[in-house]
Structure 1
Amino acid sequence: MILDPFLLLLIGMVVLASLLPAHGRGAQAVNIAADIGIVLLFFLHGAKLSREAIWNGARAWKLHLATLGTTFAAFPLLGLAMQRIGALPDTMRAGLLFLTLLPSTVQSSIAFTAIARGNVAAAVVSASFSNLLGIVLTPLLVALLMRSGGTAGMISFQSIEGIVLQLLLPFVIGHLMRPWIGSFVERHRQALGRVDRTSILLIVYSAFSAAVVEGLWHKVSRTELALLTGACIALLLAVLIFTWGLGRILGFSRQDAIVLQFCGSKKSLASGVPIAGVLFPAGAVGPLILPLMLFHQIQLIACALLARHYGEEAEQAMGKRAAETAEASS
Structure 2
Amino acid sequence: MIPFLDLKKINEPYETAFQEKLKTVLNNGWYILGKEVETFEESFAQYCKSKYCIGVGNGFDALVLIFKGYIQLGKLKKGDEVIVPANTYIASILAILQADLVPVLVEPRLETYNINPDLIEEKITPKTKAILAVHLYGQLAEMEKINEIAINNNLIVVEDCAQSHGAINDLQSTIYNLKSACAYSFYPGKNLGCLGDGGAITTNDSELAKVLFSLRNYGSEKKYHNEYIGVNSRLDELQAGFLNLKLPNLDTDNEKRQKIAKRYLSEIKNDKIELPFWDFSNNHVFHLFVIRTKNREKLQEYLMQYNIQTLIHYPIPPHKQKAFPDWNHLSFPITEKIHNEVLSLPMSPVLTESEVDFIIEILNQY
TM-score interval for Structure 1 and Structure 2 normalised by the shorter chain: under 0.3
TM-score (norm 2): 0.25
TM-score (norm 1): 0.26
Considering fraction of residues, name the structure with more strand.
Answer: 2
Considering fraction of residues, name the structure with more helix.
Answer: 1
